[in-house]
Amino acid sequence: MAKGKFKLSAKEIAIDLLFYIVGCALYSAAVTALITPNAISPGGFTGIAAALNYISGFSTGLILLVLNIPVIILGIVRLGGIFIVKTAIATGILSLCIELSERFVPQFTVNNILASIFGGIIMGAGLSLILKRGATTGGSDIIGTLVNRKFRYITVGKVILAFDVLVIAFAAFVYKDIESGLYSIVAIYASSRVTDAVLYGLDRGKIVYAVTDKPKEICDKISERVERGITKLSVVGGYTGDSHTMLMCTVRINEVSTVCDIVRDIDNKAFIVVSDAGEIIGEGFKTDR
């Protein structure tokens, strides 16, 4: 078993537990109040547990715990480390929170699109708090990691996506409603967007790459108009063998067109590529986590 460092201060443990409790409470409230009452699946092991609850009447929290126990044990044996320990704790808290939510949180049967959007938003807020402190809610996350360890060409994200598709299909079959699956996709998408926003903040942006023979003029103009730093890289054309300069400039989304216009105005032969920047940390953006 992989050995991790388990040296955590009492303060860190307390903060972790606080985040897990609040995150699990939010997630559970969303599932109990808005998601399952409207025959929508939250995906993952929680989605399986909710569907089995619909069939059998057994507690969703208890089913979720039973489903997660063998997966967590396998994760401890194969992966080890503090990540699995934190995930096991968060999973236990989530099961308890769902159990309490089913007893004390009121259920609302509302318009399905509203339930999927607002339920997904609240789920995402809860999940982000758990992820922010280095844990997950178990289930498909651990399975994805194990599959990726065995087959490196299969990413964790692809495993989770495939798992969610199967869970949504299973839920639609159980609820006997194809629309249930479609609303489930909306809920999961809303949840993922909110999770990304909380984890990575609003400093997501773009990276503009420009291969040019007029790097100084372009750098001066970008610095003057956009006030962004530029990195110069020496590149060589694979076909021609000619040497050029590639400029790399990280900008906010609303600054992309300005930077591209500057490059084109100065060098209309420049080759420009714009790519996504998932998270930007540094001067002018986010300076810490």
Residue ranges of domains in the chain, CATH in brackets:
10-200 (no CATH), 205-277 (3.30.70.120)
Element (H, E) at 251: strand 243-251
pLDDT tens for residues 204-252? 678 999 999 999 999 999 988 887 889 999 999 888 888 999 999 988 8
The per-residue pLDDT for 1 is: 41
Element (H, E) at 24: helix 10-30
Q: Which of 2, 37, 17, 23 is nearest to 175 (CA)?
A: 37
Confidence of residue 201 (pLDDT cuts 50, 70, 90): low
Contacts of 134 (CB under 8 A, 6+ apart): 16, 82, 83, 86
Confidence of residue 2 (pLDDT cuts 50, 70, 90): very low
Q: Which residue has the tokens 């750098």?
A: 219
Q: What is the mean pLDDT of residues 165-170?
A: 93
Q: What is the mean pLDDT of residues 188-201?
A: 81
Angle at 91 between CA 69 and CA 94, to 5 degrees: 130
Contacts of 168 (CB under 8 A, 6+ apart): 41, 43, 47, 181, 184, 185, 188
Q: Tell me: pLDDT of 289 over 80.
A: no
For the purposes of burial, counting CB atoms within 10 Å of the CB of 30, is it exposed (0-12), middle (13-18) or buried (19 or more)? buried
Write b or e for each residue in 258-268: b if 16 or more Cβ atoms lie within 10 A of its Cβ, otherwise e. bbbebbeebbe
pLDDT tens for residues 21-74? 999 999 999 999 999 999 999 999 999 999 999 999 899 999 999 999 999 998
Phi, psi for 272 (deg, rounded to 5): -115, 135
Q: Which strands sit side by side in the sheet containing 243-251, from one edge to the other?
A: 231-236, 243-251, 205-212, 271-277
- Residues 139/143/146/148 CA torsion (nearest 10 deg): -130
